[in-house]
Amino acid sequence: MNLTRKEKKALARILAAGALLIAANLLPLEGYWRLPVFLIPYFVVGWDVLWKAVRNIANGQVFDENFLMSLATVGALVLGEYSEAVGVMLFYQVGELFQTHAVGQSRKSIAALMDIRPDTASVLRDGAFVEADPEEVAVGDTIQVKPGEKVPLDGVVLTGASTLNTAALTGESVPRSVREGDQIVSGCVNLTGVLTVQVTKPFGESTVAKILELVENAASKKAAAENFITRFSRWYTPAVVIGAVGLAVVPPLFVGGWANWVRRALIFLVISCPCALVISIPLAFFGGIGGASRRGILVKGGNYLEQLAKVRTVVFDKTGTLTQGVFEVAELLPAEGVSEKELLRAAAQAEAYSNHPIAQSLRRACGENIDPALVTDVKEAAGRGVTAKAGGASVAAGNEKLMADLGIKMTAAQPQHVGTVVHVARDGQYLGQVVIADAVKQSAPAAIAALKARGIRTVMLTGDAQAVGQAVGQALGLDEVHAQLLPADKVDQVEKLLEKKAPKTTLAYVGDGVNDAPVLSRADVGVAMGAMGSDAALEAADVVLMDDDLAKLPEAMDVAKKCSRIVVENIVFALGVKGLFLLLGALGMANMWEAVFADVGVAVIAILNSGRMLRSK
């Protein structure tokens, strides 16, 4: 067990007090002569608890565990229970040491996980690369990243090729290849080649800075269970103190035996300490956030983790979420006597000047370098397509309306793929049609199947045509598909789904975080895909899947459910054991040592249970 310097001092104090307690019990002393001897180990192990109690009372914070332990042990000393008084304080400090170590380990786990902040950046100054603070590097500056170094700032690769370890950001063990022109984000580790990078964002707006800020702030967003424990402790502690006073005063008025009833009241106080809940519940959520981050899933707070555990409906955006968001040629249907190469060349010539994703996919599929200088008289018909002159011929690429406007008779052909159909003609002759489709992500089918296996309803909202939406929905086995929606329509659909959901369940919306901000905000849980480099995703969503992998969504829900299960176990266990021992203590059937178990023992067991979240892989 690796202890900090402070924890080692606390352990040494506990061992010293334990040895002094054994020695005090061995001395042949009688009556009140034993008190000074037992006060030595008592103050060695408990002076800080007494001091905290006094200081908190002076600040108006009377009812806490320090007050309860001080009152109980001082009362035991007054009653002549010297050994028990020292023992209670000794075992309480053992429990505190255990709690401190567990919380410290959880913080170290998060800190190690998020150890992605670069210390320096090698920036180009006066023709040479010099070390500088990343916060001092400006947008547009050129930096160099050598093998083994962290990428300090977001940017574009100017020269070089390499592979990047993105595990700290995405949880993905497979390195990512980059080369000239590729975007890279801060926090990754350069593995092989030397890269020169042009900075595109200042450090304060970089991916690594935003992630660190979100993780640091996650603890402030408490789950309902944490808020319950805070409110519970605020009322619980004064209530048990009043109960203990009543136990010490009221029964003796009728049956006598003051010393016996005061002893019962002190035992009652020791048992009542709420530290098992106060420490273990936040620790479970903290561990859940860390366990999710280790998988490349950024959860912005315990409240969102709690909501994620109750999700029974997941609504997906299509483009960029269920599909790759990159249009590719899915099918070629050339007219009789026309080759596929001829069909693609004419389409690429017509689209030579366009930056539309469909135009880009046509040029990629053609594979030839179409010289835009040879393409003239380009005319774009809104909502129809493009016409142009290329190599002395008139070329046209567009939809059926464009072909009808040009008086071109199309050959009937039934595509096998569902997608956007581009009809192509040259010099009034119909050359055929090209089907452009957005491919389903490789991880989508397995992710949807995993959700359905967990009894979760899946819905897709898309602005695409009904046929395209239905085709994707059927391929993935979705429960509902709503197509041809504007952004406002998506919000309306989510509102309707929220009204239909079962009580005490939640709805999650999964989108790319750029165009879906209104829906992400309206859902119970907003989940953003592919946040590497996407500011909007980090801003709008409650949960972020850092590597654009849908398979992480069921994982995130499993982590959330495990965390919620541990929280419930701790609450039921702690309250159940404490309730039983409080009753036994009030009836005189529990002694001071059993009271210590009910306090320290329950706390240790609850913390060990919460620690399962920190160890989850």
pLDDT, one tens digit per residue, over 15-72 is 999 999 999 988 887 777 888 999 999 999 999 989 988 998 888 877 777 887 787 7
Same domain, 316 and 446: yes
pLDDT of residue 77: 84
Q: Are 302 and 223 in contact (CB under 8 A)?
A: yes
Sign of CA dihedral 108, 113, 115, 117: negative
Residue 344 maps to which CATH number?
3.40.1110.10
Domain boundary among 412, 439, 466: 439
Lowest average pLDDT, out of 126-140, 227-241, 358-372, 376-390, goes to: 227-241
pTM above 0.75? no
**In contact, 472 and 460? CB cutoff 8 Å:** yes
Q: What is the DSSP string of 203-240?
A: GGGSHHHHHHHHHHHHTTS--HHHHHHHHHHHHHHHHH
Q: Is residue 584 part of a domain?
A: no
Are residue 193 and residue 125 in the same domain, yes or no? yes
H or E element: which one contains 303?
helix 302-308
Q: Which of 168, 200, 232 is the last residue before a domain boundary?
A: 200
In the 8-state DSSP scheme, what is residue 32? G
Residues 395 and 367 both lie in one domain: yes
Number of structural domains (the chain) is 3
Catalytic residue among 64, 141, 154, 317: 317
Best CA proximity match to 299, nearest among 317, 313, 285: 285
Q: What is the pLDDT of residue 41?
A: 93
Instruction: Give the pLDDT of residue 212.
Output: 64
Within a domain: 128: yes
- Are 489 and 536 part of one and the same domain? yes
Where does a domain end: 405, 439, 473? Answer: 439
Do residue 462 and residue 548 come from a single domain?
yes
Average pLDDT over residues 314-321: 88
Q: What is the dihedral of CA 54, 58, 60, 66, to 10 degrees?
A: -10
State both tokens at 322: 């269920």
- Alpha-carbon distance of 128 to 561, in angstroms, equals 53
* 513 pLDDT higher than 60: no
Q: What is the mean pLDDT of residues 141-163?
A: 92
Q: Is the pLDDT of residue 314 over 60?
A: yes
User: What integer is the mean pLDDT of 440-444?
Assistant: 88
As a whole number of angstroms, the distance between CA 313 and CA 523 comes to: 10
Q: Which of residues 478 and 79 earns the better pLDDT score?
A: 478
Tell me the average pLDDT of the chain.
Answer: 83
The arithmetic mean of pLDDT across residues 146-163, rounded, is 91
**Domain for residue 548, yes or no?**
yes
**Which tens digit of pLDDT belongs to each residue from 539-578?**
778 888 877 789 999 999 999 999 899 988 988 888 888 8
**Do 296 and 329 belong to one domain?**
no
Q: What is the distance between the alpha carbons of residues 428 and 462, in angstroms, rounded to a whole number? A: 36
3-state helix, strand, coil in the chain (%, to 5): 55, 20, 25
Select the more confidently predicted residue: 167 or 499: 499
Tokens matching residue 578: 């404490």
**pLDDT, average across residues 420-427:** 91
DSSP 62-108: --SHHHHHHHHHHHHHHTT-HHHHHHHHHHHHHHHHHHHHHHHHHHH
| CATH number for the domain harbouring residue 160 | 2.70.150.10
| Residues 413 and 489 grouped into a single domain | no
Residues 334 and 318 in one domain: no
Sign of the torsion formed by the C-alpha atoms of 184, 186, 189 and 192 = positive
What is the domain-level CATH number for residue 478? 3.40.50.1000
448 & 459 share domain: yes
Q: Does some domain include residue 577?
A: no
Confirm whether 360 is domain-assigned: yes
Residue 547 annotated in active site: no
Q: Is residue 592 part of a domain?
A: no
- Quick one: pLDDT band at residue 215, thresholds 50, 70, 90? low
Tokens matching residue 422:
């581009």
Mean pLDDT, rounded, for 365-391: 86
Domain-located, residue 28: no
Is-contact 127 193, C-beta < 8 A?
A: no
Residue 479 burial (C-beta neighbours within 10 Å; 0-12, 13-18, 19+)? middle
Pick the range with the lowest mean pLDDT from 42-51, 128-137, 262-271, 342-351. Answer: 262-271
The answer as to whether 266 is a domain residue is no
pLDDT computed for residue 449 by the predictor? 95
Please tell me whether residues 129 and 172 are part of one structural domain. Answer: yes
What is the pLDDT at residue 533? 46
**Contact at 8 Å (CB) between 151 and 164?**
yes
**Mean pLDDT value across residues 211-232:** 63
Q: Confidence band (pLDDT; 50, 70, 90) for 408? A: very high
| pLDDT of residue 105 exceeding 70 | no
| Top-ranked range on mean pLDDT: pick from 20-29, 68-77, 125-134, 452-461 | 452-461
- pLDDT at residue 426 greater than cutoff 90: yes
432 and 404 belong to one structural domain: yes
* Residue 107, pLDDT score: 61
Query: Does the pLDDT value for residue 538 go beyond 70?
Result: no
**Inter-residue contact 507 to 494 (CB < 8 Å):** yes
* pLDDT at residue 225, as a whole number: 63
Shared domain check, 457 and 408: no
Range of 531's domain? 287-323+441-560
**What is the structure's pLDDT at 82?**
85
